[in-house]
A and B are shown apart, each in its own frame.
Chain A
Amino acid sequence: MRALVWHGANDIRCDTVPDPKIEHPRDAIVKVTTCAICGSDLHLHDNFMPGMEKGDIVGHEFMGEVMEVGAEAKSALKIGERVVVPFTIWCGDCDQCKRGNYSVCERSNRNKALADKVFGHTTAGLFGYTHLTGGYAGGQAEYVRVPMADRTHIKIPGGLTDEQVLFLGDIFPTGWQAAAQCDIQPTDTVAIWGCGPVGQMTIRSAILLGAKQVIAIDRVPERLAMAKAGGAITINFEEESVVERLNELTGGKGPEKCIDAVGMEAHATATIDSMMDRAKQALMLESDRAHVLREMIYVCRPAGTLSIPGVYGGLIDKMPFGMAMNKGLTWRMGQTHVNRWTDDLLNRIQEGQIDPSFVITHTVPLDQGPEMYKTFRDKRDGCIKVVLKP
């Protein structure tokens, strides 16, 4: 089959690889009809995430048709059913899964020993996302093996297009959880850094959950325009001071809720901290650039909440922790517990409350994937979200 394969920094190729096979009775094989490139994939492409190996198939936002089902998954899944696959693999039986904390499932990471060493304790297995989270083959491919398939799926009823439901596997619940874990009150100002696909979903979620005011921060004009369409007041951080504008918009008090939808590749205008971050990242003295986190800690209203869906991979430097501690901030973060939210979100899509396909700007065949990684990363050609058709 054809699949997008990681070969190193800046080097993802469309290769011919062996078809996946059922390896365990709980597995299923899904024929991918539509998949997408996620901002998290860019961290792999740019080689900022440790734990990738040459030959790994990437991609974790995908959907398709069930082709084959292992004996133990048969009661939950039938051949021919249409499913979106969540990027977090979950067992459903461990203590964490029972509490709905699927992204920290204790059993789905087959490289548990390695993850236990690196993270202290393992987190869930993820598709196409480093050997620290299981090294499972990803979904930017014609076929995928889905482990623990009796749990790891979202069934899609007829009458909805792939484009409407695809993002249930990742960015829609990610934006939703980012907003939900802020426990938004009708009096809250929610400030969101990053107007990429995750930021866009977060903006819509914050509006639906009833925020008084949603403020979105980025520097890419067309992304800011899309943020505004979704109900946000926008700040272009290359043209205005984020701190001053946020204070203006909140009567000098600061936003109650701050969300980092940027992650470890944050850009910044030439501030000292951001120059130091770039230099250190290049010299491998730190792995992540923390400009957005520092800004959030600084502007957040005391006793407010920081919510962090943006992905970080390792070490950050110059964290103003004293400021965070003294302001009594609450931190909420993590990979998304996808299936915890998808029944409700699928309902909302069906009822027409939201159509997540608004974010798609590019649809191309799978073999154009490697170029599209670059277009998406460099934000060329108005690119916000890329959908691939195997």
Chain B
Amino acid sequence: MAYYNRSSTGDNLARGLGWFSVGLGVAELMAGRTIARWMGMEDKTNLIRAYGVREITAGVGLLALGDPKPWIWSRIAGDAVDMATLAAGMENNPRAGNAGIAFGAVMAATALDIVCVQKLHQEEAYYRSLPVPDYSDRSGFPRPVSAMRGAASDAPIGEDMRTPKILRFQPAQSQTAQNQIAQNQTATS
């Protein structure tokens, strides 16, 4: 199974990156045009908005109570896409300086992502290295299971907990045969 501990150092960092993703994503989505203009890449406005959606998804994934590793990996892949877009946009761009600043910021975030994912994998390796306890003798029964099957079939279980007879999966009997049985039962009782 995937091992993770929702209160470890790696996990806290992952959650921090989750909030960062949500914040950045919302900014990209709402202020896509302003950001694009500032970097001299106004033609990329829609792309930046789409990246915003990607960031929000990763952020929410990280904040939900699950294994953060796949989401951090998705952030790293996203960082690579961001850097490629920025690098391409810097050619013949009078505002290449600003794009460069953005590039640096993405690189810094990537570094954090990598530290985080390494930490998470280390933690997983540690959990995996712990011995798995052996519970194969904990049946709770005094005798082998085969001897216990049906041992309580006489248990007092109220009619309200029972399934109507007709719905029970007994060895196949035709509907008319079942009706016949039901009639006989009412006749004798």
Measured CA separation A210–B133 after assembly (Å)? 29
Interface-forming stretch among A135-143, A147-155, A279-287? A279-287
Interface-forming stretch among B101-109, B110-118, B147-155? B147-155
Contact flag A380-B5 (CB < 8 Å), given A187-B169, A256-B169, A279-B60: yes
Q: Which of A238, A356, A359, A378 has the most CB of B within 10 A?
A: A378
Q: Does chain B have a CB within 8 A of A226?
A: yes
**Interface 1/0s, chain A 349-390, versus B by CB < 8 A?**
000111110110100000000000010011011101000000
Q: Does chain B have a CB within 8 A of A245?
A: no
Interface-forming stretch among B90-98, B135-143, B179-187? B135-143
Measured CA separation A196–B132 after assembly (Å)? 16
Query: Measured between C-beta atoms, what is the minimum distance from B127 to chain A in Å?
Result: 7
Measured CA separation A161–B135 after assembly (Å)? 21
Interface secondary structure of B, over-half rule: loop
Contact assessment for A238 and B7 in the assembled complex, using a CB-CB cutoff below 8 Å? no
CB within 8 A of B66: which of A200, A210, A278? A278
Interface-forming stretch among A33-41, A65-73, A112-120, A228-236? A228-236
Question: What number of B residues sit within 8 Å (CB to CB) of A?
Answer: 47
Interface-forming stretch among A54-62, A74-82, A214-222? A214-222
Interface-forming stretch among A12-20, A123-131, A201-209? A201-209
Chain B residues, CB < 8 A from A304: 169
Chain A residues, CB < 8 A from B157: 180, 183
Which residue in chain A gives the minimum CB-CB distance to B156?
A: A344
**Interface 1/0s, chain B 1-32, versus A by CB < 8 A?**
11011110000000000000000000000000
- The bracket for how many chain A residues form the interface is 35 or more
Contact assessment for B133 and A209 in the assembled complex, using a CB-CB cutoff below 8 Å? no
Contact assessment for B161 and A183 in the assembled complex, using a CB-CB cutoff below 8 Å? yes
Q: Does chain A have a CB within 8 A of B86?
A: no
Contact assessment for B61 and A278 in the assembled complex, using a CB-CB cutoff below 8 Å? yes
Query: Measured between C-beta atoms, what is the minimum distance from B82 to chain A in Å?
Result: 22
Contact assessment for B170 and A185 in the assembled complex, using a CB-CB cutoff below 8 Å? yes
Contact assessment for B155 and A183 in the assembled complex, using a CB-CB cutoff below 8 Å? no
Measured CA separation A285–B161 after assembly (Å)? 34
Contact flag A378-B60 (CB < 8 Å), given A301-B169, A305-B163: no
- Which residues A269-319 have CB closer than 8 A to chain B? 270, 275, 278-279, 281-283, 301, 303-305
Q: Does chain B have a CB within 8 A of A188?
A: yes
Query: Measured between C-beta atoms, what is the minimum distance from B170 to chain A in Å?
Result: 6
Q: Which of A200, A208, A281, A304 has the most CB of B within 10 A?
A: A208
Contact assessment for B138 and A270 in the assembled complex, using a CB-CB cutoff below 8 Å? no
Contact assessment for B132 and A188 in the assembled complex, using a CB-CB cutoff below 8 Å? no
Chain A residues, CB < 8 A from B133: 222, 361, 382
Q: Does chain B have a CB within 8 A of A21?
A: no
Contact assessment for B148 and A207 in the assembled complex, using a CB-CB cutoff below 8 Å? yes
| 18 extra interface residue pairs, beta carbon distance < 8 Å, beyond A180-B157, A187-B171, A208-B148 | A185-B169, A186-B150, A207-B141, A207-B148, A222-B135, A229-B140, A230-B140, A282-B61, A332-B161, A344-B156, A348-B152, A353-B151, A353-B152, A354-B141, A358-B138, A374-B6, A382-B133, A384-B135
Q: What would be 5 A-B contacts, judged by CB atoms less than 8 Å apart?
A: A180-B155, A207-B149, A208-B150, A222-B133, A301-B169
